[in-house]
Copies of this chain bind each other. A is one copy, B any other.
Amino acid sequence: MKDIEIAQKSEMLPITQIAQKVGIKAEAIEPYGNYKAKITQTSKTADSQGKLILVTAVSPTPAGEGKSTVTIGLADALSAAGKKTMIALREPSLGPVMGAKGGATGGGYSQVLPMEDINLHFTGDMHALTTANNTLAALIDNHLQQGNELGLDPRQIVWKRVLDINDRALRHIVIGMGGKSSGVVRQDGFDITVASELMAILCLAKDLADLKARIAKILVGYTYDGQPVTVSQLGVEGAITTLLKDALKPNLVQTLEHTPTLIHGGPFANIAHGCNSVLATKTALNLADYTVTEAGFGSDLGAEKFLDIKTPVLGKTPDTIVIVATVRALKMNGGVVKTDLEQEDLPALQAGFSNLKRHIQAMSQYGVPVVVAINQFATDSQNELERLQEMCQAVGVPVEVSNAWALGSQGASKLAETVLSSCQQASSFKPLYAQNSSLEEKILTVVSKIYQAKNVVYSKKALQQLQEFKERGWDQLPVCMAKTQYSFSDDPKLLGAPKDFEIHVREFVPKLGAGFIVALTGNVLTMPGLPKKPAANGIDIDENGKITGLF
């Protein structure tokens, strides 16, 4: 059965009932239809925090890891074991839904609902971000048009426009044509909405006041004489914040098994920090005894940023880190091509285990207990599953197979037990680097400790920027490494656990509102394209509103 069919057959509880489960009163939510709501206030205070479980994964491959599926299955299993549990997940982007990508709401019998709505417009957060981002862009170009008091250099405007659409033709454009009344001609481009700095800001803001303060700090460009210009100089942080007032409120939905789930914010895990909003995680921690959340891509990208960028703002560190691995992904890391994945291949599995091992090493440095969850696929052989468990045990890490995709909470009950006992262990979180160390020190720490690279090579431009940022006082901010998700190195083809490689920092991008400096180690595509046969061609809706072909 397809995911959408399972979803359409299942019965949801009214969202007010889901809210009640974790003690949210009816007056503290704003319903969006009967099965979605925004949480406007939570009654508990920050000191009654539950346990936090961070789900991450091995390096992603085209075989799929099913991180969300494990997250949902684990939470459902915790709920089934009588624990007051909530999930905090990222919001899917609509653009890729029309392209080739599956949904971002789990799969099989571990899904969040209503899956069609969540994958389409949901509660409008993405659209509010698109509007806020592009309103700021229009105000910048209007400043150029109306006399350019600030002396903004049209060649040095860094604030791009966005759409939540895969539209390669908008990557590089020329705007302002058509004569004097239609703007100043300049080169520009659109990113996909989730790549907007506003998305990262929304996910790091503690409240409306913090949101506004961060927006005021956004760097929009430079003057002709090279001075940075921020939103506060344009005087429009109030208007942009106003456009995001509802988007800032976490969204409540439910799993197939009715576990309350917050889905809120979804920044990239390369040019941004890749986790759902601080507000959603905080809300879950305040309401539930166990919060299960996930970070983007593999642990080297998503989890590292969760721990080094989000955790300091959140004020709470994980009690257990779950690394999701699959036999298939490890076999691909061990050299098997996608079409051969269905055949048992123990040597390849063994070779690919090096990748999981390095993720375990990376995560173990934070002083938080680590658990491996093997997300079972129907094509995995029993031998392969057993061998993978043995290898994990050999390196001293608790490991469990999860079959939540096929069985829901039942398939993750053992994993839940293991995670519960892991959460009782002493966790003594150690930050990877000191917040006040220099940008270079931070990069070197991430690159040597997490990636196990031998050193960092800076381009001439990056070296100039390091000097410039020091002078501007920007180099005390955390670093956000933009690297390929497929490898620990910056070469997407070096799978497994590459050795003796260098990390090349090409350029820095200051994200002063989000509060981090992005280090680009390669080309990051911030506006995807559509494939030759877009998913859109298979999507349909009948006269009763029933959708087919969505996934």
Is A98 within 8 A of B539, CB to CB? Answer: no
Is B182 within 8 A of A168, CB to CB? Answer: yes
Is A172 within 8 A of B177, CB to CB? Answer: yes
8 further contact pairs, Cβ within 8 A, besides A178-B189, A208-B544? A31-B32, A127-B128, A134-B165, A134-B167, A142-B534, A236-B534, A239-B535, A242-B539
A540 to chain B, nearest CB (A): 3
- Tell yes or no: A367 within 8 A of B by CB: no
Complex Cα gap A544–B208 (Å) = 8
- Tell yes or no: A339 within 8 A of B by CB: no
A238 to chain B, nearest CB (A): 3
Of B135, B142, B189, the residue contacting A529 (CB under 8 A) is B142
Report A161-172 CB contacts with B as 1/0, cut-off 8 Å: 001111111111
Copies in the complex: 2
Complex Cα gap A72–B271 (Å) = 49
Complex Cα gap A137–B534 (Å) = 13
A-B contact pairs, 12 of them (CB 8 A): A31-B34, A124-B124, A134-B167, A138-B166, A141-B169, A169-B176, A170-B175, A171-B177, A171-B182, A173-B177, A239-B535, A239-B540
Say yes or no: A182-B169 contact (C-beta < 8 A), given A33-B30, A540-B242: yes
- Tell yes or no: A286 within 8 A of B by CB: no
Is B177 within 8 A of A174, CB to CB? Answer: yes
CB nearest neighbor in B for A545: B245
Of B134, B166, B169, B547, the residue contacting A242 (CB under 8 A) is B547
Report A110-134 CB contacts with B as 1/0, cut-off 8 Å: 0000000000110010011011001
Is B529 within 8 A of A181, CB to CB? Answer: yes
Give every chain B residue within 8 A of A98 (Cβ-Cβ): 135, 138-139, 239
Give every chain B residue within 8 A of A207 (Cβ-Cβ): 543
- Tell yes or no: A264 within 8 A of B by CB: no
Give every chain B residue within 8 A of A94 (Cβ-Cβ): 131
Complex Cα gap A31–B235 (Å) = 35
A183 to chain B, nearest CB (A): 3
- Tell yes or no: A22 within 8 A of B by CB: no
Complex Cα gap A547–B240 (Å) = 12
Give every chain B residue within 8 A of A511 (Cβ-Cβ): none
9 A-B pairs with least C-beta separation: A169-B183, A238-B540, A172-B178, A127-B127, A239-B536, A138-B167, A141-B169, A172-B177, A239-B539
- Tell yes or no: A421 within 8 A of B by CB: no
A215 to chain B, nearest CB (A): 11
Task: Give the residues from 144 to 165 in chain A that come closer than 8 angstroms, CB to CB, to chain B.
Answer: 144-147, 163-165
- Tell yes or no: A346 within 8 A of B by CB: no
Say yes or no: A181-B168 contact (C-beta < 8 A), given A32-B32, A120-B243, A131-B127: yes
Task: Give the residues from 170 to 212 in chain A that come closer than 8 angstroms, CB to CB, to chain B.
Answer: 170-178, 181-184, 189, 207-209, 212
Of B137, B139, B530, B544, the residue contacting A138 (CB under 8 A) is B530
- Tell yes or no: A537 within 8 A of B by CB: yes
Say yes or no: A169-B184 contact (C-beta < 8 A), given A134-B163, A543-B208: yes
Complex Cα gap A504–B189 (Å) = 38
- Tell yes or no: A345 within 8 A of B by CB: no
Say yes or no: A167-B137 contact (C-beta < 8 A), given A121-B127, A121-B131, A146-B532: yes
Give every chain B residue within 8 A of A550 (Cβ-Cβ): 242
- Tell yes or no: A491 within 8 A of B by CB: no
- Tell yes or no: A541 within 8 A of B by CB: yes
Give every chain B residue within 8 A of A240 (Cβ-Cβ): 536
A17 to chain B, nearest CB (A): 15
Give every chain B residue within 8 A of A239 (Cβ-Cβ): 98, 535-537, 539-540
CB nearest neighbor in B for A172: B178
Of B139, B212, B545, the residue contacting A208 (CB under 8 A) is B545
A192 to chain B, nearest CB (A): 11
A114 to chain B, nearest CB (A): 11
A185 to chain B, nearest CB (A): 9
Task: Give the residues from 507 to 551 in chain A that come closer than 8 angstroms, CB to CB, to chain B.
Answer: 529-532, 534-537, 539-545, 547, 549-550
Give every chain B residue within 8 A of A535 (Cβ-Cβ): 239
- Tell yes or no: A241 within 8 A of B by CB: yes
Is A183 within 8 A of B208, CB to CB? Answer: no
